Amino acid sequence: MADDRNIVIVTGIPGVGKTTVINEAVEEVKQNHNESVLVLNFGTEIFQIASKKGLIEDRDHLRKMPTAKQREVQRMAGEAIAEKAKKAKVIIDTHTLIQTNNGFLIGLPEWVVRAIQPKTLVLVEADPERIAERRSSDETRTRDAQLVEDIDTHQRMCRAAATTVGTLTGATVRIIKNREGKVEEAGKELAATIME
Ligand code: ATP
Ligand code: MG
């Protein structure tokens, strides 16, 4: 049977520019290949489930909930995402590791990635100093301030988590650098992965 995977998971630490790069790539695919891409945001899905259950009012409070609750809503969202992702070309905008009050929570547990069977796991990276700046100047979100050193550690941990997804599913792991002021370049690379 042909291995016709159509899902790309896009990960990277908060404020690295995942959503911005995805928007650029979707536009690129539409313009140059006349194809549309369904973008699913794991965080949005989780937030909708958590707010329906009355657990939370602000999306940026999700990572402060007791981790057992976070796992519960994550499971429900994972099931919803795997179901929706059965359609055409799909990008999933998410995190491999969530910084909680009790250490890193695995954003993509094995049963989620096994259900999704991604073609590629993309890791969007940037210089830790630039990430710190992007977080502090982003007025649309309540972002945690973090030491550059901790941002660097989080980013390194994400590489380890990304290769785990590759091991479990056979997905390729592609690092895309989101350089300052060069979103277009990063978007083109992501578009190439979607169309591969
Ligand atoms: P989260 O995981 O929290 O959703 P994210 O990775 O999706 O974060 P974005 O919201 O896309 O991050 O970007 C964070 C901020 O960084 C935004 O204000 C965005 O405009 C800015 N930004 C993204 N990419 C670049 C870039 N290449 N150069 C300069 N600024 C950028
Ligand atoms: Mg985002």
Predicted confidence (pLDDT) per residue in 12-68, tens digit: 999 999 999 999 999 999 999 999 999 999 999 999 999 999 999 998 899 899 999
Nearest residue (CA) to ligand 1, atom 18: 138
Residues 173 and 14: beta-carbon distance below 8 Å: no
Look at residues 48, 2, 10 and name the one whose alpha carbon lies nearest to residue 26: 10
- Per-residue model confidence as pLDDT tens digits over 170-183: 999 999 999 999 99
Separation of CA 114 and ligand 1 centre (Å): 28
Q: Where are the domains of the chain?
A: 7-41+89-195
This prediction has a pTM of 0.92
Write the CB contacts of 68 (distance below 8 Å, at least 6 apart in sequence).
none
Q: Write down the pLDDT at residue 129.
A: 97
- CA 169 to ligand 1 centroid distance, Å: 28
Of all protein residues, the one whose alpha carbon is nearest to atom 2 of ligand 1 is 14
Q: Could you tell me the pLDDT band of residue 3, with boundaries at 50, 70 and 90?
A: low
What residue owns the CA closest to ligand 1's atom 16?
A: 134
pLDDT in tens, 85-95: 776 799 999 99
Label residues 161-187 b or e (16+ Cβ within 10 Å = b): bbebbbebbebebbebebeeeebeebb
- CB of 184 shorter than 6 A to ligand 1: no
Q: Is 81 helix (H, G, I), strand (E, B) or coil?
A: helix
Specify the fold of 7-41+89-195: Rossmann fold (3.40.50)
Q: Whose CA is nearest to atom 13 of ligand 1?
A: 17
Q: How far is the CA of 43 from the centre of ligand 2 (A)?
A: 8
Return all residues near 121 (Cβ < 8 A) that are at least 6 apart: 8, 9, 11, 96, 162, 165, 166, 171, 172, 173, 174
| pLDDT at 1 (0 to 100) | 47
16 touches ligand 1 (CB under 6 Å): yes
The reported pLDDT for the residue numbered 157 is 97
Which string of DSSP letters, residue by residue, matches 14-78?
TTSSHHHHHHHHHHHHHHHH----EEEEHHHHHHHHHHHTTS-S-GGGGGGS-HHHHHHHHHHHH
